[in-house]
Amino acid sequence: MTIDAAPPLHRPGLTPPSLPPTSLPQHVAVVMDGNGRWANARGLPRTEGHRVGEANLLDVVAGAIEIGVSELSAYAFSTENWRRSPGEVRFIMSFARKVLRTQRDVLHSWNVKMRWVGRTPRLWKSVLYELREAERLTAHNTGLILNLCINYGGRAEIADATRAIAEDVAAGRLKASSISEKTIQRYLYSPTMRDVDLFIRTGDEQRTSNFLMWSSSYAELYFSPLPWPDFNRSELWRACEVYAGRERRYGGAVDKVLHEEPGQAGDPLDDETPEDHEQ
């Protein structure tokens, strides 16, 4: 089965729901799970699922552009995926190289800015080369930012950032007392990456699997029962509609049923400020 042809940017007769810009996720992250099971259920080797999933990724990119998402991150290969059979790892690496070579011109014509997010150890040099080429080709594009997360792990990213911070502190380039959340963000693989608003996982599994741990800390989670080869732009739009109906509070709270006048509550900590608790 060869699926080199990219889907069209616009599919005739298929239009995205019109959501107010404030209800639209700016950054969507996708864990493209379920390829192997999709293939095995059809009596095909697992790798056929990855092959078919390429077109779904392109369709979802097109759907993200159409609905107005600004940034899309796709988990194509994790630092834990090296545990797979050597044959599957070899397939995914050479497949990633092929996808990058064959699809970057299409993505470029869609004004997509491609970025690699991940770490270099173990990553095939030829894959890294294609990623750099894709980044170079699309560097000045102004449309959707597509983060290709290849050889990416959330804990590895935080460990790598911590090591770099420690080195800068030791070299006197950074004061330990000045380290804040913003400092850590600056040391991530992609310091300009926005926080993830909507985190989608396909394949009927409900976990985040070490993907964009720092950036997804307040993401809304959406789990689709569909395997990735059945997930497409319409499914992305469905997830965006669900997202638009969510209430995001970021740790804050609004009491919708007020029983007491402010100041009458009986909690002895009511009037304490955070400073009261400082040592």
Residues near ligand FPP (CB under 6 A) are 32-37, 46, 50, 53-54, 57, 76-77, 81, 92, 96, 99, 148, 203, 228
Q: Is 40 a catalytic residue?
A: no
Q: What residues form DSSP beta bridges with 117? A: 149
Question: In the complex, what is the shortest distance from the CB of residue 234 to ligand FPP, in angstroms, rounded to a whole number?
Answer: 18
3-state secondary structure of 158: helix
- Rg (Cα) of the chain, in Å, rounded? 21
Other residues' Cβ atoms within 10 Å of the Cβ of residue 187: 18
Quick one: 27 or 201, whose CB is closer to ligand FPP?
201
Please, are residues 213 and 193 in contact by the beta-carbon 8 Å criterion?
no
CA distances 198 to 35, 58, 167, Å, are: 21, 18, 34
Quick one: 76 or 200, whose CB is closer to ligand FPP?
76
Question: In the complex, what is the shortest distance from the CB of residue 100 to ligand FPP, in angstroms, rounded to a whole number?
Answer: 6
Q: How crowded is the C-beta side of 127, counted as CA atoms within 13 Å?
A: 25
Quick one: 85 or 273, whose CB is closer to ligand FPP?
85
Q: Is 81 a catalytic residue?
A: yes
Task: Give the residue ranges of the annotated binding site for Mg(2+).
Answer: 33, 220
Task: Give the residue ranges of the annotated binding site for substrate.
Answer: 34-38, 46, 50, 78-80, 82, 84, 201, 207-209
In the block, which residue shows the tokens 């993907």? 211
Strands (E), 124-195: 145-152
Other residues' Cβ atoms within 10 Å of the Cβ of residue 59: 21
Other residues' Cβ atoms within 10 Å of the Cβ of residue 146: 22
CA distances 19 to 166, 238, 245, Å, are: 44, 11, 10
Quick one: 15 or 109, whose CB is closer to ligand FPP?
109
Q: What residues form DSSP beta bridges with 58? A: none
Question: In the complex, what is the shortest distance from the CB of residue 33 to ligand FPP, in angstroms, rounded to a whole number?
Answer: 5
Question: In the complex, what is the shortest distance from the CB of residue 275 to ligand FPP, in angstroms, rounded to a whole number?
Answer: 48
CA 110/CA 144 separation, integer angstroms = 9
Task: Give the residue ranges of the annotated binding site.
Answer: 33-38, 46, 50, 78-80, 82, 84, 201, 207-209, 220
Question: In the complex, what is the shortest distance from the CB of residue 99 to ligand FPP, in angstroms, rounded to a whole number?
Answer: 4
What is the strand order of the sheet 27-31 is part of?
113-117, 145-152, 71-78, 27-31, 198-201, 220-223
User: Which of 4, 56, 81, 204 is flagged as catalytic?
Assistant: 81
Quick one: 34 or 153, whose CB is closer to ligand FPP?
34
Q: Which residues are catalytic?
A: 33, 81
